[in-house]
Structures are given as C-alpha cells and as structure tokens.
C-alpha cells in the first residue's frame, strides 16, 4: 500500500531500467494487430505519436469480458470492475463509455444483464447495427437508444409491452395479454418498433403462436438477429409443464411475419444467423442449418453432435462456410468437408456475429495476452483472427511513477506488506514519434516513501536515471541518531535508489526537484531552509526557501525581484545569468526546468514557459503541471484528462482521457509523470494499467550537463572522455584535430557511437584511423550528437587534450617535459654551444638547453624525424663539407657525441643556403632545400626510408637574387610546406609547396621587409594557434616575432628579445 506522510521506512536496491512513447484518446482500451502481443500493447494515439499500454498482472485470473453487440463500425461490451457499457471502434480502438439518461448507464438486474459473469441474451442492448438499446430496470418501461458520435438519446415508448431485444434499428417487444371484442385474452403477441422519418412506428407481428410460453419461456429463450430479422425460439412442453423441445422461427422485419423453421430442437439451443443461413446448435445434437432464403428447405447437420459434455459448452458462430466454436480452443469447422482448424489456443464466452459476415470472440493465450478478436475470412477462404482490443488483466493499485531518460519505474501496492510498496522497472525505446517499445519487467526491492500529499497513501518518485541504473529519488524518514546527527526520530532523507541518500538533518520537509543526481529540498518547521545537494557528495548550498528548479547541474532560482530569475552552475559554483522573464509579474511560487525551457507559476493565478534561447514567454494554464522539453502537461482534474501545451506555440491538445479521480488537486509523480529528457508522458488508467506516450514535440538541442575528460594522451595513456548529455541521443561523433601540423598537415580522427540515454563515453589512443601518430602538442576535440527525435547532429561541446610522444612537430626539440608541439629556436654561440630555446606557446622563447663542444664554423639545420624515432633530428654541416644527421632523441641536447649518421664526408660547402621546410615531396619524410653559392641553383634532397638523403633534384636554375631562403612549414593551411625568399630589394616572396617535390609560382608577401634582418627563421608555431611563425634578428641584436595568419602571410612584428648579437647563427 502507499505510504502516509511522516513515517519511517527503508531504502531500496535497484536492479534494472527502461525506454519510450504517447497519444490521445477517449477512454483507451488497447488497439491490437494481427501479430501484436506481449506486455506492451499499442493504443490509440494522436497523429505522429504513439501510445502503448503496459501489463503487470497480479493474478492469472482473467478479467471477465462480455461481448454484447456488434455493429457496423464498432462493438458494445463490458469488463469486470469497469463502470458502464463500453463502445469500441473497430478501426482505431478508441473506446467511449455509453451515457444513459442519468449519466453512465449501468445494468441493474437480470433483465438487463446485471451479472457480467452470466450470458446476456442477444439483442438485449442491440445487435447488427450502431444502435445501442438501454433497457430500464422494468422491462415494460421506455427504452433509450444511444448511438456513437454524441448525437444524444432517442426514447422509444413500448406502451407497457415487455422488451425482448433490438436488432439493427428494430425493437422487438411482446404483450402477455390482449383485448379482443372488449374481453381480455391471455397469450403472447409480438410487436416491432422502429423510427421512420423521425416518428415511432409500431407494427404487430403475424404468425407468432398466441400460446407460446412468454413468461417462463420467451423472455429467457435463446434468440439472435440482425438488421433484417430475428431468429426467435420458444419452449414446447410435453404436457408435464417442463420444456422438452424448442421451436425456432424467423421473424422478417420487412413483413413483420414470423415463420417457424425448426421444430423439436434440443433444450435451450444456441441460435446462429447469417445473411444466407439460419440454424441452431447443441453439443449433443450438433449444428442444424437451413438456407435463410428458403426456410422450408430440408435442414442439414454439417457438424454432428458429440457426447463430450464439455464445460462450458461450445458456442458457435458462422463465418462464411465455417462454424467457429468458442469456450476452449477457438476452433473452426468447415461446413463443406468437416475440416477443422484451430484459430486460438483458448477462448471464452459467447461470440457475436458481425454485420459483415465475420465474428467477434474473446481469447488468446495467457492473462496478459487476452483479447477481443475479430474472425474473418482470409484470402484462402479460411477463417483468420485479428486482435481488436486488449482485455486488461487485474493489477495492483499503483502508488507512484518515475520516468527519466526512458527508464520507467512503477510503484504498486504490496498486498503482503503494509509497510512498503513494490516497484518494477522497464526500459522504453523510442524515436520520439511513432516508434515506442518497452522491455520486459525487472523487479526491484520494496520502497517506502513518505507521500508528499496530505492524508494520502502514495509513493511519489522523482525520476533519476544515470544511463546504467535507475536511481529514482523519494523522500523517506529515519532516526538520525548517529554521531553528529540531529537526534530527530523522523528526520528526512532523500533516498537515491541503489545509491547513497542525501541527509540534511532536518524534518517535515519536501523535495523540490531532482535532476541527474542533484536535488533541491525544503525543510519544514518554523524556520524552513532550502538545501541543494549532490548524491554521493553531500550539501552544496543552504539558503532561504524560494522557487527553484534543476536542469542537470544548472540551478534556476527566483529572486526577491518580481519577474527576475537566476541560473547558477553547481559545477563551477558561479552564477550563469540573471534574466527578466516576459509575462512574469510576480516572485514565482514554482519553477521547473527542462531543455531550454523554464516553467514559472504565480500560484494559481498565472503561469508561463520561458524560452531561454529566444527570451520569450508563452502563457499556460497553471495547476497540476509538469514541464517536458518543449511542452507542459497539466492534469485537468475536472475533466479527468491530461492536456499538453506546446511551449513554442501555446497550442494545446488532450493526450489522455478517463484518468481516475484521485481526490487530490495535485497527483503528479503519484498517478502520472513526464520524462523531461525524452518527451514521454506516462499515467495510470482506471484499470491500474500503465500508459506511455510520445508527444512528437520538437526537443531542445543536445548539450552537455557534465564532463569527465582527460587532458592528456600518449601511447601508454589513452584519452578517456565521458559526457552527460542533456537528453538521449541516437548517435554521436567525437572528432580530434591536431592544432599543429605533422608531416602531411593537421591530423584528424573521428570516433562514433550509437544510442545513449545519458552518458556518452569514448577513449582514444592518440592516433589516426590508419594508425599514424597525432602530432605532439595540443589537439582539439569536438563532440556532436543527434538527439532523440531529431535527424541532424548538433555541436554539443568542445575541448582540448595534450598529445605526448606522438609524431614530431616541425622545429620542436625540447621543453621542460620533452617535445610539446611548439617550435624551438636553435642558436650557436661563440663558445661552441648549440642551444635549444623552447617556444612558450605565448609567442616568446623560454627555457634553454645547450650542448657544448661544437666548432663555431658549423651550420646547424633543424630537421624533421628522418631516423624514425619520433624525435626531430638536426643536420650539421662542417667546414670540411661533411654532412651528418644527429639524432638526439626527444628532449635531449645535441652534442658532438650524440648519435649520428654521416650523410656525406665532403662537398657540402658548395651550398650557402640550407633549410628544411618539412615534407616537400609528400612521402611523410622531411626533405632538405639547398642553394649552390656559385650558380644559384636550388636543389631538393628528399629524405629516404633508411634515414639518409636521396640524390639531389634541381628545382630552380638561379636564385642568386635572394638574400635569404627560409623553410617555414605550412603557412597557407593546405597541409603542404612552403618556402619564403627575401630578395635584394627586401621583397618577401612565398613559394607554396605542391606536395610533389615542387613549388608553385611565387607570391609577394611583403615589400620593403626585413632589410635590417641578418637572420630569419621559420621557427614553427610558438603561439599555440597552429600557425607557423617567423623569428628574425636585426643587426642591433633584437629578436622579433611575426605571427603567422595561416593564410600565407604574417602579422606585425613583436619584439621578443634583445642582446642577441652574440649568437653566430639562428636556425
């Protein structure tokens, strides 16, 4: 049973979860399909949405279903424990309760089938048309006629005659005495009544035996009919006063003529009538038939009698050339050859013939799979069944409900334990529109919440699903007797099912809101306070009570100023924004937040939804309201329905009707709830079944509520990222892009994943899809996701991660922690010290490491990784003309003793310019550009796979006109390294690399540039923007930086050092 307020209780451990769908309707039985079934059944829904109904039977006893009448567009029936008569549409399954003169019509005695467990004579409430007759308690009182569609009631006065039945639109009634020649005459006379041109018409029936036993016979004798006539029976006695046989005859409505058809029928036969046959059946005598068009024809017995004495007796209905028998397996017997076909494993009750020649039966397999089913002929001429309406099983009373990120928890009364309720979990899966399915139930431990509604037994819950476990939250009480506790015997605590509770050492309070492991709670007592906490972390805020709402880690709050709200980050502990809300003319009494929307209410006077993106408000009706992403749902207690209002437009529609009256002004989270993340709505109906529906409302863009992200990756330590998304996603992608360029430009890697309801997780090894290493230094990452109910991915969040021990970046040799993706400068001093000056990332040069012992006549050329150890190398040309490749490794200085490879023992003094732009040829290895001092010819030396240089290839004949030739890496952003050349007129030219070992025609970069510079170095990126920069030294010893713009040019120079005249060379 549900719990009352102020009661101690225990915690519950969790086992599993669930996923998603919604609609509108009248009463909502469940529409079926030929192959549908199981615990989740489709129900009537609004266009573009879906509703399902979920079973959780408490017993194997099936709910009694009584079929009463079959019309052209729907059928009339009753269900145990459901008030009134129900009319259900064949096509959409929508069901309405029949209204009589005084409201819901209820049968009151045996004359109008009060006992639902007893057979009801055909025609009592109609048969064969969309006309429902509502008999009075007394059989001779006027009859009310009801039709679907709300056209009101028509009253038929039988003038004291006894009502027998309605077939089509014709009523059959009887007098038990008549007046002839002024004298009373005992007997029975039948009359037909219908409405013609708006007037009641009464006609006497001819051919009906006056001595037919009415009081003891016809009133309860078998009968059936359709719009054209009725098949009636009456008992025939052997003189002893007991009926021994029955006579069965046909009453033609067109002529008002009754014609006996069968005599000597067994006692209380079942009658069958179709457009072409009439007949009767008992198990012992079999099925006796005649053509309807020739009532004098010889009768046939296509189905012979048996001595099975089945209980209950089989009851037949004709469908084409087949007889279909209920009670037990639903079997069809061919009237032509006796072939038998089993249509259902079980069936029960009296079937109904439908006007189109089919039939209605009740049957299925188990309690959770019991349906009203329609029998019709298939394309092969054999009968087939199709589910029409689910017959709800008996269920325990529901006391609470939570729905979060597609995880549905239902709480129900526990008949075996008065101190706790039981819960069950399902996972819902949806596309946000027309698709919605539910998993099987997973049971979990009992719960015992404190009901937030006074004088009510309930187990209200706040949904809280972390992507793995349903950590739904409820308020409970406990004895706070631990050391440091309050000593309160009924202290409040917020129980997070399956996790640690939140305790504030207070009592008499209530939960304000819960979202993704954060909670807001107001304490009770004479000096109430508001607490904000995080499960597993404890209290984060304590403040005065005010309207508040959570949207993940964002806390929305009312201020003391009317119309003003604030948003606050519980992650950074900072105020995010203060907004003035249009239309909010008060200090709000209530706030709710979901997606980009904030719901506000000024008591019961006014309410609205604020769009934090557009900064507009839409007015909505206040009351028992819950906010979803882009909509509100309000329980209209006067009309027993849920009304959805779209936040963007203010348009409203009913999504659920016939909700039972809880007797409360507010019963959200007790009898219904909203999933603010998926757009689902769930509620309990009068049968205590759970309905879930999609809304079809466009959701907010996906954002990240929380992030747990590494900022470093190397081959031994992968990057791990976890993001709590603001709503379920159907797919996601995480793209890494290197800030720096490698041998062939910037590196990228995209990881992808599928659906996730809460957390998106990814790990990355710092490599491309082909296995290549990312360049050292910073890489950015960008998370995109496609939200549930949308089709296009959106940007969610971005960040960066540092890549260590990756691929070397041009000109990067050393830093305090090894190569860092930043360019470094190499200088040679007059003492033979070869120094690496580390780029800082801020546009300057920082720490220095020096290798000593070098001749001051060497030429040092910073080179890429030719040796294959993922560390940049250095070319050293000696005055002797020898050329060596020194391989210092990562983060080490270069000394004469450093490991090297001799590339040439002489001949390299012919070159007066040596520079390496990077990989000029596009093969992934660094290359060298050299200019002959005597001829001015420029040559390309390609790096080889064995760590050497290939034979030279001439690029240009005579570049004597250039003062400086500088390899600068990729300064145009196309992934190919480029050259700069300064001519004698101090014009700076750019040669764009083509990636095939050649360069494009020159492009002027600057005129009158660098006339005072005696050294210009393409240092790489020292500003951390991924664009190579220049460092130059003038004749006064000042060092300057020109920051690259990534488009082939540079910004204005910035002085970064002075006193550098002592360096013999910069490279």
pLDDT tens per residue across span 755-768: 999 999 999 999 99
In 754-793, the DSSP E strands lie at: 759-764, 777-787
* Structure tokens that stand for 981 in this block: 């050349």
State yes or no: pLDDT of 504 exceeds 90: yes
pLDDT at 741: 87
Cis status, amide bond into 163, omega within 30 of 0: no
Sign of CA dihedral 207, 209, 215, 216: negative
Give the model's confidence band at 509: pLDDT under 50 very low, under 70 low, under 90 confident, else very high: very high
pLDDT at 39: 45
pLDDT at 219: 61
368 three-class SS: helix
Other C-beta atoms within 10 Å of 479: how many? 13
pLDDT in tens, 1017-1042: 999 999 999 999 999 999 999 999 99
State yes or no: pLDDT of 809 exceeds 50: yes
Strands in 874-877's sheet, in edge-to-edge order, are 859-862, 874-877, 883-886, 900-904
Of 764, 732, 759, nearest in space to 748 by CA:
764
In this structure, of 177-191, 229-243, 933-947, the range with the lowest mean pLDDT score is 177-191
In this structure, of 166-180, 270-284, 299-313, 634-648, the range with the lowest mean pLDDT score is 166-180
Mean pLDDT computed over 145-151: 89
Secondary structure (DSSP) of 939-995: EEEEB-TTSSBPPPEEEES--TTEEEEEEEE-SSSSSS-EEEEEETT--EEEE-B-S
Angle at 913 between CA 910 and CA 914, to 5 degrees: 100
State yes or no: pLDDT of 882 exceeds 70: yes
Residue 853 DSSP class: -
pLDDT in tens, 283-324: 999 999 999 999 999 999 999 999 877 778 899 999 999 999
Of 790, 781, 786, nearest in space to 747 by CA:
781
State yes or no: pLDDT of 267 exceeds 90: no
In this structure, of 182-196, 260-274, 493-507, 753-767, the range with the lowest mean pLDDT score is 182-196
pLDDT at 188: 78
State how far Cα 948 lies from the chain centre.
59
Mean pLDDT computed over 619-631: 98
Give the model's confidence band at 6: pLDDT under 50 very low, under 70 low, under 90 confident, else very high: very low
* Structure tokens that stand for 1048 in this block: 């082939």
Delineate the domains of the chain, giving CATH numbers in brackets.
Answer: 57-390 (2.130.10), 398-694 (2.40.128.630), 704-803 (2.60.40.4070), 824-1066 (2.115.10.10)
How far apart, in Å, are the Cα atoms of 6 and each of 456, 496, 530, 834? 12, 18, 19, 80
Residue 217 DSSP class: I
pLDDT in tens, 333-357: 999 999 999 999 999 999 999 999 9
State yes or no: pLDDT of 59 exceeds 70: yes
pLDDT at 154: 94
Winning range, highest mean pLDDT, from 90-94, 107-111, 485-489, 557-561: 557-561
State yes or no: pLDDT of 719 exceeds 60: yes
pLDDT at 433: 84
In this structure, of 237-251, 826-840, 1038-1052, the range with the lowest mean pLDDT score is 237-251
Of 931, 965, 930, nearest in space to 949 by CA:
930
Asked whether the beta carbons of 247 and 234 are under 8 A apart, the reply is yes
**Distance between CA 14 and CA 11 in Å, rounded?**
10
State yes or no: pLDDT of 683 exceeds 70: yes
In the chain, the percentage of residues whose pLDDT exceeds 70 is: 93
Of 87, 93, 78, nearest in space to 42 by CA:
93
pLDDT at 500: 94
Give the model's confidence band at 2: pLDDT under 50 very low, under 70 low, under 90 confident, else very high: very low
Strands in 794-803's sheet, in edge-to-edge order, are 712-713, 794-803, 777-787, 729-742, 745-753
pLDDT in tens, 19-42: 333 222 333 444 444 433 334 555
Residue 982 vs residue 307, higher pLDDT: 982
Winning range, highest mean pLDDT, from 10-14, 787-791, 1029-1033: 1029-1033
Of 424, 1033, 298, 1017, nearest in space to 689 by CA:
424
Give the model's confidence band at 218: pLDDT under 50 very low, under 70 low, under 90 confident, else very high: low
Query: pTM of this prediction?
Result: 0.81
pLDDT in tens, 189-216: 899 999 999 999 999 999 999 888 765 4
- Residue 18, phi then psi, degrees to nearest 5: -165, 170
Secondary structure (DSSP) of 274-290: -SSEEEEEETTTEEEEE
Q: What does pLDDT average to over the chain?
A: 91
How far apart, in Å, are the Cα atoms of 895 and each of 842, 858, 886, 1018? 28, 12, 9, 23
């Amino acid at each position: 049973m549900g719990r009352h307020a102020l009661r101690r209780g225990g915690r519950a451990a969790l086992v599993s979860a669930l996923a998603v769908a919604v609609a509108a309707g009248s009463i909502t039985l469940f529409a079926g399909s030929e192959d549908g079934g199981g615990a989740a059944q489709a129900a009537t829904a609004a266009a573009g949405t879906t509703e399902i109904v979920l079973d959780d039977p408490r017993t194997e006893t099936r709910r009694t279903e009584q079929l009463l009448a079959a019309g052209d567009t729907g059928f009339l029936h009753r269900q145990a424990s459901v008030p009134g008569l129900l009319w259900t549409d064949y096509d959409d399954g929508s069901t309405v309760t029949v209204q009589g003169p005084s409201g819901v019509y209820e049968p009151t005695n045996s004359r109008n089938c009060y006992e639902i467990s007893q057979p009801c004579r055909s025609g009592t409430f109609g048969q064969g048309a969309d006309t429902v007759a509502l008999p009075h308690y007394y059989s001779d009182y006027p009859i009310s006629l009801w039709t679907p569609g709300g056209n009101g009631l028509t009253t038929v006065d039988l003038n004291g005659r006894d009502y027998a039945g309605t077939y089509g639109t014709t009523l059959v009634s009887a007098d038990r005495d008549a007046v002839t020649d002024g004298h009373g005459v005992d007997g029975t006379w039948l009359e037909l009544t219908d409405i013609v041109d708006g007037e009641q018409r009464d006609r006497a029936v001819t051919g009906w035996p006056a001595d037919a036993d009415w009081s003891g016979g016809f009133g309860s004798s078998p009968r059936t009919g359709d719009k054209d006539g009725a098949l009636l029976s009456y008992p025939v006695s052997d003189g002893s006063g007991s009926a021994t046989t029955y006579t069965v005859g046909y009453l033609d409505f067109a002529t008002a003529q009754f014609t006996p058809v069968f005599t000597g029928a067994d006692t209380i036969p079942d009658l069958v009538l179709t457009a072409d046959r009439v007949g009767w059946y008992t198990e012992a005598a079999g099925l006796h038939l005649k053509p309807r068009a020739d009532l004098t024809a010889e009768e046939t017995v296509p189905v012979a009698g048996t001595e099975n004495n089945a209980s209950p007796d089989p009851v037949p209905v004709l469908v084409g050339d087949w007889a279909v028998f209920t009670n037990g397996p639903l079997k069809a017997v061919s009237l032509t050859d006796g072939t038998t076909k089993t249509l259902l494993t079980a069936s029960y009750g009296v079937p109904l013939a439908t006007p189109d020649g089919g039939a209605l039966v009740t049957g299925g397999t188990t309690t959770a799979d019991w349906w009203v089913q329609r029998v019709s002929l298939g394309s092969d001429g054999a009968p087939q069944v199709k589910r029409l309406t689910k017959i709800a099983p008996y269920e325990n009373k529901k006391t609470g409900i939570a729905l979060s990120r597609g995880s549905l928890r239902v709480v129900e009364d526990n008949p075996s334990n008065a101190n706790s309720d039981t819960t069950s979990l399902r996972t819902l899966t949806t596309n946000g529109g027309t698709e919605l399915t539910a998993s099987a139930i997973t049971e979990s431990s009992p719960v015992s919440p404190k009901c937030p509604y006074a004088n009510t037994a309930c187990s209200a819950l706040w949904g809280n699903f972390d992507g793995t476990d349903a950590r739904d939250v409820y308020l409970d009480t406990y004895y706070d007797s631990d050391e440091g506790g309050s000593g309160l015997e009924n202290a409040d605590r917020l129980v997070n099912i399956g996790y640690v509770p939140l305790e504030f050492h207070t009592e008499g309070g209530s939960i304000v809101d819960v979202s993704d492991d954060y909670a807001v709670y107001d304490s009770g007592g004479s000096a109430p306070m508001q607490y904000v906490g995080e499960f597993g972390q404890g209290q984060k805020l304590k403040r005065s009570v005010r309207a508040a709402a959570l949207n993940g880690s964002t806390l929305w709050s009312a201020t003391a100023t009317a119309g003003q709200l604030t948003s606050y980050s519980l992650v950074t502990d900072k105020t995010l924004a203060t907004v003035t809300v249009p239309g909010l003319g008060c200090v709000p009494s209530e706030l709710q937040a979901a997606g980009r929307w904030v719901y506000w209410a000024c008591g019961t006077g006014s309410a609205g939804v604020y769009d934090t993106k557009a900064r507009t408000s839409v007015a909505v009706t206040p009351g028992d309201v819950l906010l979803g992403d882009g909509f509100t749902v309000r329980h209209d207690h006067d009309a027993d329905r849920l009304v959805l209002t779209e936040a963007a437009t203010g348009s409203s529609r009913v999504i659920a009707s016939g909700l039972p009256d809880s007797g409360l002004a507010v019963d959200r989270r007790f009898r219904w709830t909203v999933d603010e993340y998926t757009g689902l709505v769930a509620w309990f109906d009068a049968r205590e079944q759970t309905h879930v529906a999609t809304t079809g409302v466009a959701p907010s863009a996906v954002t990240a509520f929380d992030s747990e992200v590494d900022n470093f990756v190397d081959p031994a330590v992968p990057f791990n990222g976890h993001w709590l998304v603001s709503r379920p996603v159907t797919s996601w992608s995480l793209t890494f892009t290197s800030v720096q360029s490698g041998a062939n430009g910037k590196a990228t890697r995209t990881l992808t994943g599928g659906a996730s309801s809460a957390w998106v997780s990814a790990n990355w090894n710092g490599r491309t899809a082909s296995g290549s290493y990312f360049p050292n230094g910073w890489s950015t990452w960008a998370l995109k996701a496609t939200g549930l109910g949308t089709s296009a991915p959106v940007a969610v969040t971005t960040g960066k991660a540092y890549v260590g021990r990756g691929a070397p970046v041009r000109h990067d040799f050393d830093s305090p922690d090894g190569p860092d993706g930043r360019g470094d400068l190499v200088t040679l001093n007059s003492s033979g010290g070869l120094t690496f000056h580390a780029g800082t990332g801020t546009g300057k040069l920082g720490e220095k490491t020096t290798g000593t012992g070098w001749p001051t006549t060497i030429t040092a050329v910073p080179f890429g990784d030719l040796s294959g150890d993922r560390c940049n190398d250095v070319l050293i040309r000696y005055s002797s003309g020898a050329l060596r490749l020194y391989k210092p490794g990562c983060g080490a200085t270069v000394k004469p003793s450093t490991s090297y490879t001799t590339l040439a023992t002489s001949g390299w003094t012919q070159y007066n310019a040596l520079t390496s732009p990077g990989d000029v040829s596009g093969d992934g290895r660094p290359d060298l550009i050299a200019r002959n001092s005597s001829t001015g010819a420029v040559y390309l030396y390609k790096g080889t796979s064995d760590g050497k240089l290939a034979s030279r290839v001439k690029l240009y004949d005579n570049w004597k006109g250039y003062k400086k030739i500088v390899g600068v890496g990729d300064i145009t952003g196309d992934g190919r390294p480029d050259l700069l050349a300064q001519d004698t007129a101090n014009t700076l030219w750019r040669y764009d690399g083509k990636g095939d070992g050649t360069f494009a025609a020159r492009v002027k970069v600057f005129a009158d540039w660098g006339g005072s510079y005696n050294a210009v170095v393409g240092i790489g990126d020292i500003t951390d923007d991924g664009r190579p920069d220049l460092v130059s030294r003038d004749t006064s010893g000042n060092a300057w930086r020109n920051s690259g713009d990534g488009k082939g040019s540079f910004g204005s120079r910035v002085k970064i050092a002075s006193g550098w005249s002592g360096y013999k060379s910069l490279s």
